A and B are shown apart, each in its own frame.
Chain A
Amino acid sequence: MERGWTGTLEKIDDYRWRIPTSYARGMRVPGLIFTDEKLLADITTDQALQQVANVAHLPGIVKASLAMPDIHWGYGFPIGGVAAVDATDGVVSPGGVGYDINCGVRLVRTELTVEEVQPKLRTLIAALFNDIPCGVGMSGEIRVSKQDADRIMTQGARWVVKEGYGIAEDIEHTESRGCLDEADPSKVSSRAFQRGHDQLGTLGSGNHFLEVQAVETIYDEATATQLGLVQDHVAVMIHSGSRGFGYQICDDYLDVTERAMAKYGIHVPDRQLACAPLRSEEGQAYLGAMRCAANYAWANRQCLMQLMRLTFERVFGKPWHAIGLQLVYDVAHNIAKFERHTVDGRERTVCVHRKGATRSFPAGHPEVPEAYRSVGQPVIIPGDMGRHSYVLVGTPTAMEETFGSCCHGAGRVMSRAEAVRTASGRSIERELEQQGIIVMGRGRKGVAEEQPSAYKDVNDVVRVVHNAGLAKRVARLRPLGVIKG
């Protein structure tokens, strides 16, 4: 099924490659790929780079169709892609955000040391696995009425905090303060409501997880201190999104935008790049619904974090704030947002699609929370469950070159079937346990499919973004225990 890509690729420097506009007729801008020789070998094994070139056809796209080092083959857009379009004559594409709208990651620090947690680790992971709804067929404990649903869609994490799931400071430490304005519940289908009504505060399955981690390495002491990260302390990372609610909204609007393309005479090389002019009725409807899902996702991660805090309270016998369970930051990595960026020497408003890419704003930017304004926005990059995860901060280089964006994770290299095959006869859980990592998952195949070797080495991916200057390494974390759906 899969075959390698053999198109034109020009090396710019050790971390930048270009697909020139001459590669395919209709490309409005070049493709720009951030990678190195080693990762490029994986990237060219499938059609991800063709997708980078296809995205360059989108009406209104400015500067370049960008790809991060964790890029892999997606639907229409590559996963690990960034595309900014002009706010007046550009288009918005549901495929440029993805099915899991506002899938993202949050990191919570603690005052607990690895030494203190280790004796209770198994109890802690089992308690988290028990308390946090995850896996297929699990409903959340949080019941949402129609009226509540409207508030979640329009107020996001802010509303669940008002309802007691967390504190005001959590909101300050969330991208976009946990809520996008101009969310429009009237643009959300009843099917999306039906898929979302009992999933708030649920982790989901697939690559979603909650991980207890140790702060293993500090690269930048001053910045780490500012973010509250201390070597050998324990932290918790949560990776989840908008659940069935967001999946359904994406699906609904792939249909709407596909019809809109014929209506507005838009031609793109792939059906899954379906898009609509930002200023059209269809484009506005998608944006209104997409923001509802983004807000739902922030509310979801906020609820998950609060459930986790309560489990820690029970296991350690102290109030969560007494053990310092503070939110470091929450980032979205599947989203479209209007932002101000400099293009061709002129500052203008663009709609930035980040599909498997993390915002990476530099120190001084008004969107960076006050507590971090002097160091830059925290960029949280999860790895696989056997290796590492990273905290970085955004940079001016990202602002200049990638609309303030950076990678989002390790990126898959092995198909799910291949992963299950290589795991046959082995117990991935036992192997990880021998490395001191406790894994609890529901599905028989879930853990095998998500095994470490199914992913690129996140260390390689982060080295590229650090060396290319798209974000600056602050700390590396290693997993102690993982729960998966």
Chain B
Amino acid sequence: MQDRGYAFFNHTADIGIRAEASTLEELFIRMAQGLTELLVEDSPLQPREARSIELTADDAASLLLKWLQELLFWFATERFAPIRYVLTEVTPTSLRGTVRGERFDPARHQQGREVKAITRHLLRAEPCEDGWVGEVIVDI
């Protein structure tokens, strides 16, 4: 695992994001940071706007999918790129918190990939020896 807390892995036409963390909350944040890097590379982002989020799902993997789908939807519709996360509640079936970030600005930010979707292909979020591990493949 790299210092930034997440890593990318290969899938022929697309890109996978993988992270490990001691808590589920940290796992979700790291996976979100991985997605953000795909969208805007290492652009400097400011926590100018806040959005609240509340999700429920049947299991941790489905919750991870919904979490990343929501962040992608914000970026796709309003160009909102997240940088700071305060998750007040994260269980394998529910998530609640606040996400701060700012709108993508071509003058100040670097364009990354156009992520079409967060796929269910090889999706996982499960306990491991040191906490939690998650993997997701995004469609480019």
- A residues contacting B by CB (< 8 A) are 1-2, 46, 72-76, 79, 99-100, 135-137, 191, 194-195, 204-206, 244, 247-248, 250-251, 254, 271-272, 412-413, 415-418, 442-446, 449, 485
Contact A204 B114 (CB under 8 A): yes
Of B10, B73, B118, the contact of A2 (CB 8 Å cutoff): B10
Of A100, A204, A443, A449, the contact of B111 (CB 8 Å cutoff): A443
Taking the closest CB of chain A, its distance from the CB of B19, in whole angstroms, is 15
A417 nearest in chain B by CB position: B10
| Chain B residue contacts of A445, Cβ below 8 A | 41, 112-113
Contact B111 A75 (CB under 8 A): no
A46 to B116, CA, bound (A): 22
How many contacting A-B pairs (Cβ < 8 A)? 100
| Chain B residue contacts of A413, Cβ below 8 A | 12
Cβ contacts A to B, 15 pairs, < 8 Å = A1-B11, A72-B12, A76-B121, A99-B139, A194-B73, A195-B76, A204-B114, A206-B116, A248-B73, A254-B120, A443-B113, A445-B41, A445-B113, A446-B111, A449-B113
**Which B residues between 46 and 93 are near A, CB-CB below 8 angstroms?**
69, 73, 76-77, 79
Contact B9 A416 (CB under 8 A): no
Of B11, B16, B104, B110, the contact of A444 (CB 8 Å cutoff): B110
| Chain A residue contacts of B69, Cβ below 8 A | 251
Contact B140 A416 (CB under 8 A): yes
Contact A73 B11 (CB under 8 A): yes
Contact B117 A46 (CB under 8 A): no
A174 to B70, CA, bound (A): 35
Given contacts A2-B10, A75-B121, A206-B140, 17 further A-B contacts (CB under 8 A): A2-B12, A46-B12, A73-B12, A75-B139, A135-B111, A136-B112, A191-B73, A195-B73, A205-B113, A205-B114, A247-B116, A248-B73, A251-B117, A272-B120, A413-B12, A417-B15, A442-B111
Interface size on B, residues (CB 8 A): 32
Of B10, B117, B120, the contact of A416 (CB 8 Å cutoff): B10
Taking the closest CB of chain A, its distance from the CB of B13, in whole angstroms, is 5
Contact A2 B111 (CB under 8 A): no
| Chain B residue contacts of A244, Cβ below 8 A | 76-77, 116
A99 to B116, CA, bound (A): 7
Of B76, B104, B114, B137, the contact of A206 (CB 8 Å cutoff): B114
- B residues contacting A by CB (< 8 A) are 8-16, 39, 41, 69, 73, 76-77, 79, 104, 106, 110-114, 116-121, 137, 139-140
Contact B39 A247 (CB under 8 A): no
A247 to B139, CA, bound (A): 10
A247 to B140, CA, bound (A): 11
Contact B79 A137 (CB under 8 A): yes
Contact A136 B104 (CB under 8 A): yes
Of A1, A136, A250, the contact of B16 (CB 8 Å cutoff): A1
A485 to B140, CA, bound (A): 12
A193 nearest in chain B by CB position: B77
Given the interface contacts A137-B111, A206-B116, A272-B119, does A2 sit within 8 Å of B11 by beta carbon?
yes
Contact A418 B10 (CB under 8 A): yes
| Chain A residue contacts of B119, Cβ below 8 A | 75, 272
| Chain A residue contacts of B114, Cβ below 8 A | 135-136, 204-206, 485
Of B73, B113, B116, the contact of A446 (CB 8 Å cutoff): B113
A444 to B12, CA, bound (A): 20
A-B complex: 6 closest residue pairs judged by Cβ atoms: A205-B114, A415-B10, A75-B121, A247-B116, A136-B111, A194-B77
A100 to B8, CA, bound (A): 23
A135 nearest in chain B by CB position: B111
Taking the closest CB of chain B, its distance from the CB of A458, in whole angstroms, is 16
A1 to B114, CA, bound (A): 23
A443 to B39, CA, bound (A): 10
A272 to B123, CA, bound (A): 10
| Chain B residue contacts of A415, Cβ below 8 A | 10-12, 15
B103 nearest in chain A by CB position: A137
| Chain B residue contacts of A205, Cβ below 8 A | 111, 113-114
Given the interface contacts A99-B117, A206-B116, does A137 sit within 8 Å of B11 by beta carbon?
no
B81 nearest in chain A by CB position: A137
Taking the closest CB of chain B, its distance from the CB of A396, in whole angstroms, is 32
Contact A271 B120 (CB under 8 A): yes
| Chain A residue contacts of B8, Cβ below 8 A | 417
